[in-house]
Structure formats: structure tokens, C-alpha cells
Amino acid sequence: MTRIAAKFADLKSQGKSAFVSYIMAGDPDYDTTLAVMNGLPGAGVDIIELGAPFTDPMADGPTIQLAGQRALDGGMTLKKTLQLVTEFRKTDDTTPIVLMGYYNPIYSHGVDAFLVDAKAAGVDGLIVVDLPPEEDSELCIPAGKAGIDFIRLTTPTTDERRLPTVLPNTSGFIYYVAITGITGSGSASPETVGREVARIKQSTDLPVCVGFGIKTPQDAAAMAAVADGAVVGSAIVQKLADGDSVETVLDFVKDLADGAHSA
């Protein structure tokens, strides 16, 4: 059983939804990222999404775009992102880590070499937002063969005609994007999201986690109540952008996690 599957099974046995947190590798610097990562499980985070910075982050809003630029300006690379995972695994061998980013850095690294390196580092899943299902042979299928889950995004516009194309090679969980648009923008009603999650779950046994537009513990609780998990990214990244200490960021994350777990 993969770390991701084991985590969802454990949460289900407790009657809880997952809390998934996103941070950008290298923002504001390598050491701070590692310190935050090391503190996330203790703050209640069930799954860590680690952003790999890229020069053209088309799916990301201003908060995460700026975080990626700061990381790149500081010399962050895909290799160093994997090094962060390796360092994290020295003290935590159970918390799932999902690498989230874009295909170009992986392609430049070499797909086969990347999958070997990612697996060795301790990466459990990938979210690659610019690789559609029609390109599954590029990375999705090889990742599955390497034992790394490939997590697919679905959106309010992923209808019954599109779902059968999206789901077949997806594993780990489904990431439902609650709004149409970029990260950090807008919000969706729990009632609408609940209907969409139920619709998706008619076609898959995978857990469905909801992200985009979740900013407060109340938001996290509301979304976790209608899904298998809540994902928060921009609100956490903004705390780091504001210069908050690691302890302050982790306190904020704990409040979010408590909200999600209260659902």
C-alpha cells in the first residue's frame, strides 16, 4: 500500500477528512522550506504538496507565481526540490509527499531519471498541471509503473464526456478544483462543491480532495465536510511572503488542519 493510500485508509477509519497543505520549494529559501516541511505533520497536515518552481506557472495565481519567482531567484532547482524531500525523509517516513508543478523541468531532467530520483527521494505522487490525459504515455503511465501516484485535476467544467478520459490512469486521489480560474482566486459554495464531488465519486473509488479558494479554518471545515479532504496553498504561501516566522506559519496551518479535521 502506498503512503497516500495508507493515509486515506487511516483517516477513513477515524471518520476524518484529509488536510493537504501546499508550500513552494525554496520560498523564501531552502532552509525555511525544510523547517516548515518538518513542522507540517505536527501541525496536523496529512499530505504535503511541495511546489516545484517553474518560469511559466500558467495555472497559478499571483501569490504562488511570486513564490516560484522568489525560489528561482534564490537558485532553487528541481534537483534541490528532490533534495528537500530526501532531507525530510530522514525524520519522517510516513507523511505522503506530492510534487506539484509543470512538465518542462521534468522533461529537461529526463523522465526516466526523474522517476528514479523522485522515488529514491521519497516522493509519493505527482501533480503535473500541463499534461492532459491525452499525454499519459509521457509521464503518467511511467510514473505508475515506478510506484508513484499520478494525481489528476478535475474542474467544474470536467463533465460526463470528459471524466472517462481523465480517470483511467489517475491514482492516489482526485484533486477537484473548486473554481474556474487560477490559484488563490474566488471561492465556491460547499453545496455546489458537494454536488460536484458526489458526481465525480459516481465514476471512481478514489478519494476526492478539494482545493482553490480555501483560506480559513471555516473554509477548510466546510469543504472537508463534503469531500475526502481540503487543500490549502495560497493562504499558507502568503504567510511566508509576509515574512511570518516558521512558528507563526505552522500555527496558522494547525488552525486550518483543525478546521478540516472537525468536519
pLDDT of residue 125: 98
pTM of the model: 0.96
Domain with residue 236: its CATH number is 3.20.20.70
Tell me: the pLDDT tens digits for 203-252?
Answer: 999 999 999 889 999 999 999 999 999 999 999 999 999 999 999 999 99
pLDDT of residue 188: 75
Neighbours of 170 (CB within 10 A): 21
- C-alpha grid cell for residue 34? 525544510
- The count of C-alpha atoms lying within 13 angstroms of the C-alpha of 75, restricted to the half-sphere facing its C-beta, is 3
Neighbours of 135 (CB within 10 A): 13
Tally of domains within the chain: 1
Tell which phi-psi region holds residue 116, choosing left (phi > 0), alpha (psi between -120 and 50) or beta: alpha
pLDDT of residue 95: 98
Q: Which residues of the chain have pLDDT under 70?
A: 180-187
- Which domain, by its residues, includes 63? 3-261
pLDDT of residue 208: 98
Count, in order, helices (H) and strands (E) of the chain. 12, 9
Residues acting as catalytic residues: 49, 60
How far apart, in whole angstroms, are the C-alpha atoms of residue 85 and residue 145? 21
pLDDT of residue 59: 82
pLDDT of residue 58: 84
Is the bond preceding residue 57 a cis peptide, omega within 30 degrees? no
